[in-house]
Structure 1
Amino acid sequence: MLSSPMFFFFQNGTKKSWDFMRTHDSVSVLIFNTTSHCFILVKQFRPAVYMCEWEKTKTQPPQSADKTEEGASEAAATESQEGKSASERESSSQWPPASAGVTYELCAGLVDKPDLSLEEIARQEVLEECGYDVPASKLKRITSYRSGVGVTGARQTMFYAEVSDDNCVSAGGGEPREGELIEVVKVPLHEAMTFAYDERIPKTMGVIFSFIWFHNNMSPKYKISTNV
């Protein structure tokens, strides 16, 4: 986030105000491994998602802002055993598990390097997060769209990249120096549409849209059904 200003405007003669955030635009990449016929996604803990799930439990607010995927569940277990009454222990045990804040996403990153093209930024993200070294020239632009119209108005540009096992040069996992803790996940092609529409699997809209795009544009090439 860059800043959080307020916008004042008139709509049909009525003065209104709106809080918004100026943020970086971003890129995302649908990665398809042609060796194993699977999609490469990332899985990570999102504090905002976790807090939305926590809100549903109507428990006390968190004691600190630095509870991570591991820390959120550990804190709930540890704090409930130290100097609390039975009712307090019952309340703290209602913390959602850390998995409640984990989502499946496309490999993605912020457009925060003005000296690099969108393709070059996307290439770096694929290498850092998923471990595949793909030339920027091999990235196919799918489309761009507003990724947050209510608060940010930021634009995301989506790319498609075909990789093989030969392109895999590391385990990925993101940049620890930037605080990233990312798990690389493989979704078989024949399970993709079931995965996309399964509401029990927490995922971003980018995953759903990109799987549908692949189904409509690329699946005939591989002669494998992606139907639900």
Structure 2
Amino acid sequence: MKSARRPEVRLPALEPYGGGELEPDGDYDGLEFRETDLAGQDGAGARFMDCALTGCALDGTRLHHARLLDSVLTGIRGVGTQLAESTLRDVELVDARLGGTQLHGAVLERVVVRGGKIDYLNLRQARLRDVVFESCVLVEPDFGGARLERVEFVDCALRSADLTAATLTDVDLRGASELTLAAGVDRLAGAVISAGQLLDLAPVLAGQLGIRVEG
């Protein structure tokens, strides 16, 4: 079982973001976005490198094909944030409050998601490598068709996850404080679970195998 490699983000001295709306294909380097309202703005294809986003609103923000590199996002919040086919590399996401975030087709590499709660996270067809979900709550995350390699869930609630057609390699679920699957129990090959989790999943596994349990 190979462990996930965590990001080592060391931000340089940052310049405050000067305001104004995000620009498609914009280039943001060494900036601090603090309590910035980015709701509804279009930063599709933009690159954020060595940036800190703290307490920002991202409701409906369009960041399709964006690249977030060597950056820390703390206390961000938003519903329907569009990050489809984006790249997150060496990123820390801390205490986020997000709903319906679109990350389908995205690439996540050396990412830590720590604290916070994310509802209805769409990671369909995404590629996750060296990703750690830690002390957070994920409600109905969709990993349909995704590829997960060296992914760890540490003290993390994973509620009604969908693993349909997902591929798991060195995925450690033992640290999940809650683990329930809505679909895709047959895709757990390549994952490690605890004995207690096996008991919790037994009814779903029995159903998958066509076993009737009585008495």
TM-score (norm 2): 0.23
- From the two aligned structures, give the one with the greater strand fraction: 2
Higher relative contact order (CA 8 A, sep 6+): 1
- From the two aligned structures, give the one with the greater helix fraction: 1
TM-score (norm 1): 0.22
